[in-house]
Amino acid sequence: MKWKKYTITTTTEAEDLVSYMLTELGMEGVQIEDNIQLSMADTKAMFVDILPELPPDEGIGKVSFFLESDDEGVHYPEGISGEEDMLARIKAGLEDIAQFVNVGSCEITDDETEDKDWINNWKQYFKPFMVDDIVIKPTWEEVPENMKGRMIVNIDPGTAFGTGSHETTQLVIKQIRKYATNDTQMLDVGTGSGILSVIGLMLGVKHVLGTDLDPNAIIATDENMEVNGLGRELYEVIEGNIIDDKSIQDYVGYEKYDLVTANILADIIIPLLGEIAVHMKHGAVIITSGIIDMKEKAVMEAFESNPEFEIVETTYQGEWVSITARRI
C-alpha cells in the first residue's frame, strides 16, 4: 500500500494548533516531529527510563499527515475535492492560526512512501497511563507493577480514534467521576472508541447510549466494552447526527439523560447546545471538551446565550478547555 505524506514546517509553539486544524479538515494519523526534550515527568508517564539525546531545540516543528494512494489516485477526506482544494484549506487554516501564534515558514512538502505497517507503528508509543487513580492501558500491554490494584481500563482505539491520553479526554474523565452515580443515564455524543462510555459504566452509571457519525465507532465500542467485561445490556451505540437528524433525536429520546458527554470540537459543540437540552432531564449535567483555548470564548458565549443552561465549572489542561454546565 502506498501513502502520500504531506509535511508542514511550522514552530513548536504552533504545532498543536496546526495538528488540531488538520484534524478538523478530516486528516487522520497526524505526526509531530520536533526536538523538544522530554521532561522527567514525561518519561515517568511514558515509562521511559533514559532521556533520549536530541539536537538543540530551535523552535521548529514538523507536522505531517498521510493520505492513501493507489492506482485511482490519492484519497482525500470527505468534502475535499483534490490536492489544490486541500492545500488552499490548509493555507487558510495556517493564516487563521498566525493571528495567535508564530507559525514559522509554513512550507508544505510532499513525498510518497510504501510502508504496510506505518498505520500501526503508533502502538509502540501508547503505554499505560493514569488519570487520577484510573489506569488506562492498551489491550496489548501488561499492567505495570506500580499501577496494579487500581481500576484498569483496557482500550484499543483502532486506527480511527484517540487513545484517551489527550488532554481533552482526560478533562472529561475527571468530570465524569464527579457526576456518575448508579442511577445515571448517560449520553455520549461523538463516542469514538467508546472510552468515555466504558469509563462511565466502570464508574457505576446505569446505562450509556453513544452516538457517532463514523460507523467504525460501533465496532470499536463493542470491542472495548467486551474487553472490559461490559455486557450489551449496559450500552448501545448508534450511527447518526443528533444535531439535525430527527430520527436520531427521536431514537435518543427526550428528558431522559442525567449526564451528557461531548468530547468533540468547539464548532460542533456550539450547534449541539441548541438541540441537546431537550434530551436531558432538568438538573442534568453536560460535560463538553475538545475546545482549544482560542475557542473557549465562543463556546462560553453559546452556553451563556442559551437559557436552558447554567455553567457549573470550567477546567483546563494544557491548551484545552472543558466546560461543564447544568440544565436549569
CB atoms within 10 A of CB 302: 19
Q: How far apart are the first and last CA of the chain?
A: 53
What are 74's three cell numbers? 490519492
* Cα 119 to Cα 3: distance, rounded to the nearest angstrom: 10
* Cα 177 to Cα 132: distance, rounded to the nearest angstrom: 10
Residue 144 vs residue 153, higher pLDDT: 153
Check residue 193 and give its pLDDT: 87
Check residue 35 and give its pLDDT: 77
Check residue 77 and give its pLDDT: 92
Encode pLDDT of 51-75 as tens digits: 445 567 789 999 999 898 887 888 9
Place of cell 487558510: 92
In the predicted structure, residue 44 carries a pLDDT above the cut 50? no
The average confidence (pLDDT) of the chain is 87
Encode pLDDT of 297-327 as tens digits: 999 999 999 999 999 999 999 889 999 999 9
Check residue 47 and give its pLDDT: 36
Q: What is the mean pLDDT of residues 283-296?
A: 94
Is the pTM of the predicted complex or chain greater than 0.75? no
Q: In what helix (H) or strand (E) does residue 70 lie, and over which residues does it extend?
A: strand 60-70
Check residue 160 and give its pLDDT: 47
Check residue 55 and give its pLDDT: 64
Residue 161 vs residue 204, higher pLDDT: 204
* Cα 174 to Cα 179: distance, rounded to the nearest angstrom: 9
Q: Which of 181, 328, 322 is CA-nearest to residue 261?
A: 322
Encode pLDDT of 233-242 as tens digits: 999 999 999 9
Which of 165-179, 180-194, 223-237, 249-263 bottoms out in mean pLDDT, i.e. has the lowest?
165-179
Check residue 145 and give its pLDDT: 87
Which of 23-27, 255-259, 278-282, 299-303 bottoms out in mean pLDDT, i.e. has the lowest?
23-27
Asked whether 290 and 265 are in contact (CB, 8 A), the reply is yes
In the predicted structure, residue 119 carries a pLDDT above the cut 70? no
Q: What is the mean pLDDT of residues 85-103?
A: 95
Check residue 187 and give its pLDDT: 98
**What count of residues does the chain have?**
328
Instruction: Kindly compute the dihedral angle of the four CA atoms of residues 136, 178, 187, 236, in this order, to the nearest 10 degrees.
Output: 50
Q: Which of 270, 293, 262, 264 is CA-nearest to residue 17?
A: 293
Check residue 34 and give its pLDDT: 86
Check residue 138 and give its pLDDT: 84
Which of 93-102, 141-150, 228-237, 257-266 bottoms out in mean pLDDT, i.e. has the lowest?
141-150
Which of 126-130, 236-240, 246-250, 263-267 bottoms out in mean pLDDT, i.e. has the lowest?
126-130
What are 317's three cell numbers? 489542561
Check residue 310 and give its pLDDT: 98
Q: What is the mean pLDDT of residues 93-100?
A: 94
In the predicted structure, residue 50 carries a pLDDT above the cut 50? no
Q: Per-residue confidence at 96, pLDDT binned at 50, 70, 90?
A: very high
Burial of residue 52 (CB within 10 Å: 0-12, 13-18, 19+) is exposed
Check residue 126 and give its pLDDT: 66
Question: 189 has which bridge partners?
Answer: 211, 262
Check residue 39 and give its pLDDT: 55
Instruction: Kindly compute the dihedral angle of the four CA atoms of residues 100, 101, 107, 108, in this order, to the nearest 10 degrees.
Output: -60
Check residue 93 and give its pLDDT: 95
